[in-house]
Amino acid sequence: MKIVIDARMIHHGGIGTYIRGLLPHFTDCGHEVIPLFPEQFKTPIYSASEQIQFLQKIPRCDLFWSPHFNIPFLPVKAKRRAVTIHDLFHLDHLEQFSPVKKLYAKLALRKATLKSDLIITVSEFSKMRLLHYFPVAEAKIHVIHSGCDHLSSLDSEPVEELPSSFFLLVGNGKPHKNLQAVLKAMEHFPEMQLVITGKKEKHPRVHSVGRVSDGKLKWLYVHAQALIFPSLYEGWGLPPLEAMSLGCPVIASSAASIPEACGRAPLYFDPSSAQELCVAIEKLSSVREECVQKGYQRAGELTWEEAAKKHLQLFSTVATLP
Determine the structural domain holding residue 124 and report its residue range. 2-146+303-319
Residue 151 located in a structural domain: no
160 domain residue, yes or no: no
Same domain for 235 and 309, yes or no, is no
Q: How far apart are CA 173 and CA 179, in angstroms?
A: 8
Question: 36-58, pLDDT tens digit by residue?
Answer: 999 999 899 999 899 999 999 99
Output the pLDDT for position 202.
Answer: 86
Helical H segments across the chain, by residue range: 15-22, 48-57, 89-92, 99-115, 124-133, 179-186, 214-223, 238-245, 258-262, 274-300, 304-319
* Contact call for residues 130 and 85 (beta carbons, < 8 A): yes
Query: Is the residue at 275 inside a domain?
Result: yes
Same domain, 291 and 185: yes
Residue 159 is assigned to a structural domain of this protein: no
User: Sign (positive/negative) of CA torsion 289, 290, 296, 299?
Assistant: negative
Quick one: 241 and 267 in the same domain?
yes
Q: Does 200 share its domain with 312?
A: no
pLDDT of 171 > 90? The answer is: no
* Statement to judge: residues 266 and 252 lie in one domain: yes
129 in the same domain as 102: yes
Domain assignment present for residue 274? The answer is yes
Alpha helix positions (H), 85-201: 89-92, 99-115, 124-133, 179-186
Write the pLDDT tens digit of every residue in 256-269: 999 999 999 999 99
- Regarding whether 43 and 78 lie in a shared domain, the answer is yes
Question: Is residue 152 in a domain?
Answer: no
* Average pLDDT of span 286-303: 98
pLDDT digits (tens, 9 = 90+) for 3-30: 999 999 999 999 999 999 999 999 888 9
Which band of pLDDT confidence, cut at 50, 70 and 90, is reported for residue 124?
A: very high
* Beta strand 61-66 pairing with 78-84: parallel
Measured CA to CA, the distance from residue 72 to residue 85 in angstroms comes to 14
Overall number of domains in the chain: 2
Q: What is the pLDDT of residues 191-218, one digit of tens each?
A: 999 999 987 888 999 999 999 999 999 9
Per-residue confidence at 312, pLDDT binned at 50, 70, 90? very high
Q: Does residue 285 sit in the same domain as residue 315? A: no
Regarding whether 257 and 311 lie in a shared domain, the answer is no
Statement to judge: residues 233 and 120 lie in one domain: no
pLDDT per residue as tens digits for the range 231-240: 999 999 999 9
Is residue 78 a part of any domain in this protein?
yes
Question: Residue 41 sits in a domain of what CATH number?
Answer: 3.40.50.2000
Same domain flag for 142 and 7: yes
Q: 291-308: b or e for each residue (b if 16 or more CB lie within 10 Å)?
A: bbebbeebbeebbbeebb
Same domain for 10 and 142, yes or no, is yes
Residue 95 falls within a domain, yes or no?
A: yes
d(CA 168, CA 207): 10
What integer pLDDT is reported at residue 174 of this predicted model? 87
